[in-house]
Structure formats: C-alpha cells, structure tokens
Amino acid sequence: MKINIDKVQNAVILFLRLTVVVVIFGAVWNLRWTLLFASILILISTFLPNIFEKKYKINLPLEFEFVIIIFLYTSLFLGEIHSYYTLFWWWDIVLHMGSGIALGFVGFLILYILYCQGKVRAKPIWIALFAFCFAVAIGAVWEIFEFGMDQIFGLNMQKSGLSDTMWDLIVDSIGALLTSFVGYFYIRGNKIPLFTRFLSKFSKENPRYFNDKK
C-alpha cells in the first residue's frame, strides 16, 4: 500500500497543534499564566506559513510548511517550555544546524528567483555566498533576540552565555555553508536529490517567479 506523504504530514501538523492546545488548557486549569502566554504564541506561530502565503501570494509546498512547523515546535515548545535544551545536550546543536541549512536555502531561493527572472546577473559562487551570508545574518539576529529576552525579562535563552552564543553561530555557519555548497553545484548543473526536489516543487507551485533562463 502506497503511503500518501501529504496526508501523513498534515496529520503530524494537526497532532502537534493539538498537543499545544492541550498544554494551553492545562495552563489555564493550573493558573500558569506564563506557560499559557508562551503556548498561545507557539500555537499562533504554527500558522505563520499560511499567513505568509496569503499576504505575499506565494504557494509554499507542504514540505516547506511541515519543516517550519517542526522547527518551531521542537525549538520553542519542546526546547524552551519542556527544557529539552537542558535534558539533551545535542538538542540545540541539531536545531541550529537545521536552521542554518533551512535559512541558507531561503537565501539561495531569493537570489535564485531574481537570477531566473534576469533581474540579477551573478556567478554561481556569488549566489552561494549570498545564501551563506543571509543565513548567518539571521542567526546573528536571533542571538541578539535571545540576549535581549534574557536581559529584559530575566529568561535563560542563552544558557551558558557567550559560549552558547558562539557555538550557536558556529553551527549555524556550518549548516549555511552546507546549503551554499549544494546550491552552487545545483546551478552548475549537478542535481542533489533532496535539494532539487524542494526547489522543483516550489518552482512548479510558483511558476510566475521562474522562466526558462536557466
């Protein structure tokens, strides 16, 4: 029997949202207002891909939405609320590596669309470099956000302070570098299976952003 991947992904997304809803009701029952506020924000954040699609009229493939929601759930809900960052030493490393890869792909996609439309003339190495810089820049902004939250609200998002921040940026950079390499070779004509699948699906669902320039 062939498994419908889209149905599985939708089922997982629904399940994750329901677990957050359960926590919200539990927070109300136990009068844990901080947990309630955080859980509501996390639940709302899982709908950000849908909001983004409607606002900017971009069709995000289900795989994109699935990855975004999984990241938000594992980093905010499991990582921050359920202290997975403390329970598992590798949790932060995996998530920052994943975010570096994902943000590198976003950076590559932005410039690649402009490249396909003929609005940007650049060698593959410069498109790859932009993807890398884009991901590292967003990672740096996130670290500033963590520092601000710790300083203003007395949280502990940075965990071990400077050491945590630097290792997060290093791991972000490794993930971004990986995507940049893959993107570079993709433009040069090498088809990397997973990367090609994501990019091809996005181009099929958003044909107005692409042409036959490549």
Q: Are 76 and 161 in a shared domain?
A: no
Torsion angle of C-alpha atoms 68, 72, 75, 78, degrees rounded to 10: -120
Q: Are 109 and 179 in a shared domain?
A: yes
> What residues contact 35, with CB distance under 8 A and at least 6 apart?
23, 27, 81
Rg of the chain in Å (alpha carbons): 19
pLDDT value for 214? 46
Tokens of 43: 């639940």
pLDDT under 70: residue ranges of the chain: 1-3, 155, 211-214
Q: Give 73's DSSP letter.
A: I
Q: Are 123 and 33 in a shared domain?
A: no
Tokens of 198: 């994501």
Q: Are 2 and 106 in a shared domain?
A: no
Q: Are 32 and 66 in a shared domain?
A: yes
Separation CA 26–CA 35 (nearest Å):
9
Q: Are 109 and 29 in a shared domain?
A: no
Q: Are 112 and 176 in a shared domain?
A: yes
* Among 101, 76, 126, CA closest to 198: 101
pLDDT value for 211? 65
Task: Tell me which residue range forms the domain holding 9.
Answer: 1-82
The total domain count for the chain is 2
Separation CA 185–CA 183 (nearest Å):
6
Q: Are 125 and 197 in a shared domain?
A: yes
> What residues contact 60, with CB distance under 8 A and at least 6 apart?
49, 52, 53, 202, 205
Q: Are 108 and 66 in a shared domain?
A: no
Boundary-marking domain end, from 82, 106, 121 = 82
Q: Are 78 and 156 in a shared domain?
A: no
Boundary-marking domain end, from 82, 108, 126 = 82
What b-and-e string marks burial along 89-115, b requiring 16 or more CB atoms within 10 Å of the CB?
A: eebbeebbbbbbbbbbbebbbebbbbb
Separation CA 158–CA 120 (nearest Å):
38
pLDDT value for 184? 93
Tokens of 62: 């289900």
Boundary-marking domain end, from 82, 114, 146 = 82
In the chain, where does DSSP find H-type helix? 5-29, 33-45, 48-56, 62-72, 84-87, 91-116, 124-153, 162-187, 193-205
pLDDT in tens, 28-38: 998 888 788 88
pLDDT value for 3? 65
pLDDT value for 212? 53
Whole-prediction pTM value?
0.83
Q: Are 208 and 105 in a shared domain?
A: yes
Q: Are 132 and 75 in a shared domain?
A: no
pLDDT value for 35? 83
